[in-house]
């Protein structure tokens, strides 16, 4: 099994666990959603519009196609209204296998001020060395056209801000998405604090390239995934029986 042909059961557990972890970490609250592309492009997993992010379970997740139709799931469950973030990015980006959309306070603040862009300042933010574009339409991404426009803004980058609204983060796996989402808001919080001390020196292109050269992304994702899953199991918000162990190559 490779990271892109995990069976549905494992992916369901990963999406539900990541949602609960992000809720516990204050990244997702009553809204926000995570999706995972299924093998052979059989649509993607996403939670329903109104199931609680604190208690979402693997079996409650919907499978939707890339036209935003529900193709599997409990009856009478609708996907989030902003499902078009997911459909349009998946259609445009074959390298993206997991997407998160949420509304973190600090990262979003950087869309509200002039002359203070969200830039990489912490080493793990080298992930966004290609840039963090800002989508200027603050409205809900609730149509194909709005999803296409957001996917256009994202381009080949791994994350984008949506002005006065939130963020979209993309990754190659669900565990990778969780780790990136945590680092994304961490970087914003550090930049916010550093700016109160004085002029901020963001990471240079050379510093980010050097960091990435020496960085084992898969090992880092495995380490943080293990940490957050074990914390969730100990605290009780993740079920012990969920399949959350990552294979070496994942
Ligand atoms: Zn939103």
The 3-state DSSP class for residue 170 equals strand
- pLDDT one-digit tens code per residue, 217-240: 999 999 999 999 999 999 999 998
**Furthest-apart CA pair in the chain: how many Å?**
55
Domains of the chain, residue spans: 8-235
From the CA of 191, how far away is ligand 1's center (Å)?
Answer: 23
Q: What is the mean pLDDT of residues 165-173?
A: 98
Query: What fold does the segment set 8-235 form as a domain?
Result: L-fuculose-1-phosphate Aldolase (3.40.225)
From the CA of 62, how far away is ligand 1's center (Å)?
Answer: 18
Phi-psi category of residue 245: left, alpha or beta, with phi > 0 → left and psi -120 to 50 → alpha: beta
From the CA of 165, how far away is ligand 1's center (Å)?
Answer: 6
From the CA of 19, how far away is ligand 1's center (Å)?
Answer: 15
Q: How confident is the model at residue 1 (pLDDT cuts 50, 70, 90)?
A: low
d(CA 77, CA 83): 13
From the CA of 249, how far away is ligand 1's center (Å)?
Answer: 33
- pLDDT one-digit tens code per residue, 93-146: 999 999 999 999 999 999 999 999 999 999 999 999 999 999 999 999 999 999
Q: How far is C-alpha 211 from the chain's CA centre?
A: 22
From the CA of 228, how far away is ligand 1's center (Å)?
Answer: 24
From the CA of 146, how far away is ligand 1's center (Å)?
Answer: 12
pLDDT of 5 over the 80 cut:
no
């Amino acid at each position: 099994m490779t990271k892109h042909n995990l069976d549905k059961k494992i992916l369901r557990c990963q999406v539900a666990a990541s949602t609960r972890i992000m809720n516990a970490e204050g990244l997702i609250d009553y809204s926000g959603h995570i999706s995972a592309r299924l093998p052979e492009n059989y649509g993607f997993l996403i939670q329903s519009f109104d199931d609680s992010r604190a208690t979402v379970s693997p079996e409650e997740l919907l499978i939707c196609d890339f036209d935003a139709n529900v193709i599997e799931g409990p009856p009478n469950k609708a996907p989030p209204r902003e499902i078009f973030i997911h459909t349009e990015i998946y259609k445009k980006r074959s390298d993206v296998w997991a997407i998160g959309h949420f509304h973190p306070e600090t990262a979003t603040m950087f869309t509200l001020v002039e002359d203070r862009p969200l830039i990489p300042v912490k080493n793990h933010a080298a992930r966004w060395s290609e840039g963090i574009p800002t989508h200027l339409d603050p409205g809900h991404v609730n149509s194909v056209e709005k999803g296409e426009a957001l996917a256009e803004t994202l381009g080949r980058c791994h994350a984008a801000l949506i002005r006065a609204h939130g963020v979209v983060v993309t990754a190659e796996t669900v565990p990778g998405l969780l780790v990136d989402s945590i680092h994304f808001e961490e970087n914003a919080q550090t930049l916010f604090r550093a700016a109160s001390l004085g002029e901020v020196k963001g990471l240079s292109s050379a510093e980010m390239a050097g960091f990435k050269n020496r960085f084992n992304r898969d090992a880092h994702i495995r380490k943080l995934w293990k940490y957050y899953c074990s914390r969730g199991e100990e605290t009780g918000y993740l079920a012990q029986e969920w399949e959350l162990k990552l294979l070496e190559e994942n």
